[in-house]
Chains A and B, each alone.
Chain A
C-alpha cells in the first residue's frame, strides 16, 4: 500500500475533513428530521385515530398526500416554495423540514396501526375504571402501542438516512455531495463512490439490525 499523491488512500486521507463534515451534516439532518417526525407524527397519529371527524379527515388527507408525492418533489417544493413566503431559510433547513414532513406521515400511519392493534377491550376497561382520555392514552394505550411502533420507527429512520442523500440536489453538502466534490477534484470516481457507499452501509446496516433486534424482542406480542 503506497501512500503517495494520486493513490486512493492518500486522496481519502486528504479528503477526510470534507467527508467527515459531510457525514456530520447527513447525521444531523437525519436526526433533526427524525425528532421532528416523531413529535409531529405522534400528534398526527393521535388526530388520525381519535380526532373529531374533521380532524381525522384532515390528518388522513395529510398522510395520503405526503405518501403520494415523491420525496424529491417535496424537497424541491419546500426549498423553492418557502422563499416565496419570505422565509429565507438555508437549504439545510428546507431539506430537514421536507424530510420531517414526509416522515411525519409515515410515523403517523405506523402510530395509527399500532394503536388499532391494541384490543378494544383495553380502552373499554380503562374507561370503566374512570380514566380520562389523556390518562387512558398515557397509561393504557401508549405503553402497549409503543412496542408495536418501535420496529417500523427504526425502518422510518433508515428511510430518512437514505433520504438525506436527496438534500444534495438542493445543494446541501452532505456526505454524497461532499464525496462528489472530492471526485471533481481527484477524478477517483469509483473509489470514492465505494467509500461513500461503505459509510452509508455502516450506518444503515446498523439501523436495520437494530430494527430486527427490536422486532424479535417484541415478537412475543400477540393480541
Chain B
C-alpha cells in the first residue's frame, strides 16, 4: 500500500463549489428531461402516425441519436453551430440543446411503447361518450400513458443526470468539471474523486428513491 495521507480539508473548504456544481448538474438534467419529453412525445405521435414518411423520419432520428456518442453530439453543436452563424447559445444552453435532443430520442421510444400499450377499448370508450380527438388524447390516453411510462422516465432522468458529467468537456462548471479543477489545483486526487463519485451516487440514489415514491403514489393500472 502506498503512503497516501488523506486531507479532507480540501473538501470542506470547497464544499460550496461542490454543491453549486451538483445543483447545476441536476438543473441541466431536469431542463433537458423536460425539453426531451416534449420532443419525445411529439416524436412518438409522429412515429405512430399513418404517414409513412413522418414515421420513417422519426425512426431515422431515433436510430441516429442512439448510434451517436453523446460527446460527439455535444462538440458538434457547440463548435459546429457557430459555423452556421448561430451564436446565440452559450455553453450551458448548447449543452442543454444536445442533451435534450439526446433525451428526446430515448423518450420517444419510451412514449411510443407507452402509447402502444394503451388498450384500444379506452379510446373506443372515449369515442363512445363523444370526446373529440384532442380530448381523447388529453383526458384519456395521456394520463394513462404517463402512469405506465413513469418508471422508464425516472430511469431516464437518472441516466441524464449522469450524462451531465459530459458538460465538463465544454467547460460547463458542473460537478465533474469542478472536481477536475479542484483536483488540478490541489492534487488531492482521492479526496476529490471520492467526493465527486459519492455525490453522484447519493444523488442518483435519492432521485431513484423519490421517484419510486411517486411511482407508488401513481401506480400504473395493472
Interface residues of A, Cβ cutoff 8 Å to B? 65, 68-74, 76-77, 80-81, 83-86, 158, 161-166, 168-169, 176, 180, 183, 189-190, 193-194, 196-197, 200-201, 204-205, 208
Interface of A is mostly: helix
Interface 9-mer from B47-55, B113-121, B139-147, B193-201: B193-201
Instruction: State whether A70 touches B67 (Cβ < 8 A).
Output: no
Contact status of A72 and B176, CB under 8 A, knowing A81-B193, A200-B69, A201-B68: yes
Check: B43 CB closer than 8 A to any chain A CB. Answer: no
Instruction: State whether A76 touches B83 (Cβ < 8 A).
Output: no
B72 CB contact (under 8 Å) in A83, A84, A197: A197
Give residues of chain B (44-85) contacting chain A, Cβ–Cβ below 8 Å. 63-64, 66-72, 75-76, 79-80, 83-84
Instruction: State whether B79 touches A162 (Cβ < 8 A).
Output: no
Query: 6 tightest A-B contacts by CB?
Result: A204-B67, A70-B165, A165-B69, A70-B162, A68-B201, A77-B193
Instruction: State whether A76 touches B67 (Cβ < 8 A).
Output: no
Separation in Å of the B177 CB from the closest CB of chain A? 10
A80 and B187 CA atoms in complex are apart in Å by: 9
| Chain A residues, Cβ within 8 Å of B190 | 81, 84
Interface residues of B, Cβ cutoff 8 Å to A? 2, 4, 63-64, 66-72, 75-76, 79-80, 83-84, 162-166, 168-169, 176, 179-180, 183, 189-190, 193, 196-197, 200-201, 204-205
Instruction: State whether B179 touches A73 (Cβ < 8 A).
Output: yes
